[in-house]
Structure 1
């Protein structure tokens, strides 16, 4: 087809997705704190988008438990909800178990090397109490199985439930309790190397179920 004379405008769905990713990350990493009021005009200026994609992103975040919208009043960052996080944990553990079971038969030496590198980075981040780096490395480790499984529904659900866990996991990875995951990751890699899909899946589920909710 002929080359357009003017560049096409960015589709609204892409603007919404960009706003969603940025807002979700800011809530998970604590930039936007629990209970903080979210003002549309401020968010639009920060994200460089119009009000519509911002509201669409906030509506999605409300459905996944990260935002509270009070019609005609205000929008707030949701407090950390222990019950919701525990429910999300069960879902995430089951989906990662499924991803591991589907992925292990497809694992190559390159995939195993990626997981080993991610786990090394994870251990180093924990030793330095670098929570952001620890979460990024943990994500990279588990993403190998999720990507190999190539199940779009599985990946989409994980994208919604994982942020609820990561908010609590920031506390865990800042303490010694998170360091047991390094050894668990090594065991998962070994089972994957041996082609033991059931063993890798079982250990992956156990790894996701180690997160303990905070106590008062």
Structure 2
């Protein structure tokens, strides 16, 4: 039969909803590193069948958030330096591209959105609320992603950024997260000045500076911020 002409209300595919719920549970620590993931238990928890859970676990494995362990089925992947470094090199490059493409198109309203998000981020830092800090940080970086309109960049970031969010959440709960406020301020200033190259470099360095909690933060010599 032909496809019906009427447009159905938009809603995420069930497997995407399951993926997002499991991803967020891993990022916020509800599902802890090395915890065994049984699809039947997850399906019961989420109120869905086992099929979308299995599909979501496959996607989470591709994103580096879960892994198969012989004799233990699937477990939450531990947060380690290698997984963070692998993801951050890709995510940092994509945010650089997003900012490069966004700066020439940014309006005063876009800059105001960035400033408001950073103000909310700073307030969350002062109050010791890592969850609110995560939301504000995503809103801040979403401005350039929205303005650049590059779907490929968005897709790549969506796939690999959750690994970094796990490290970010722990970092935002510590004093190290306060450094991000200053980086955000500098990024806004460079965007406002129309300095595409400078803004892109700061955007990239913001993500390259992220480290696994417990290890010292370093700035790579070839990506240092422009004075």
Fold shared by both chains (TM-score > 0.5) = yes
- Report the secondary structure of 1:31's partner residue: coil
How big is the shift at 1:73?
4.5
Any idea what the Cα deviations from partners look like across 1:10-29, whole Å, max 9, x if unmatched?
99x81110100110000001
Q: How many pairs were matched up? A: 211
The CA distance in 2 between the partners of 1:212 and 1:65, in whole Å, is 16
1:107 has 2:115 as partner: no
Distance 1:2 1:195, change over 3 A: closer
Match of 2:122 in 1: 123
- How far does residue 215 in structure 1 lie from its aligned partner after superposition? 3.7
Aligned-residue offset at 1:72: 7.1
CA RMSD, 1 decimal? 2.2
Deviations 1:114-147 (A, max 9, x none): 1111000100111111111111111110011011
* In structure 1, distance between residues paired with 2:98 and 2:161: 14
**TM-score, length-scaled by structure 2:** 0.86
The Cα shift of 1:71 comes to: 6.8
Match of 2:155 in 1: 156
Partner of 2:67, secondary structure, is strand
The CA deviation at 1:54 is 0.7
Counterpart position of 1:210: 209
Deviation at 1:69, TM superposition (A): 2.5
Q: 1:72 to 1:52 in 2, by over 3 A?
A: farther
Whole-Å separation in 1 of the counterparts to 2:206 and 2:53: 35
Q: Equivalents in 1 of 2:70, 2:213: separation in Å?
A: 31
Aligned to 1:179: 178
Structure 1 SS opposite 2:211: coil
1:30 aligns with 2:26: no
Alignment of 1:1-216 (within 5 A): 14-70=13-69, 73-215=72-214
SS of residue in 2 equivalent to 1:211? coil
- 1 CA distance for matches of 2:42 and 2:86? 29
2: CA distance, partners of 1:99 / 1:140: 14
Structure 1 alignment gaps of length 5 or more: none
- Residue by residue, what CA displacement relative to the aligned partner does 1:76-121 show, whole Å, maximum 9, x if unpaired? 1111121011111111111101100000111111111111110001
Query: For the residues of structure 1 that align with 2:174 and 2:5, how far apart are their CA atoms?
Result: 59
Gaps of 5+ in 2: 216-227
Contact 2:99–2:199 at 8 Å: present in 1 too? yes
What is the distance in 1 between the residues matched to 2:33 and 2:169? 14
Deviation (angstroms), 1:39:
1.6
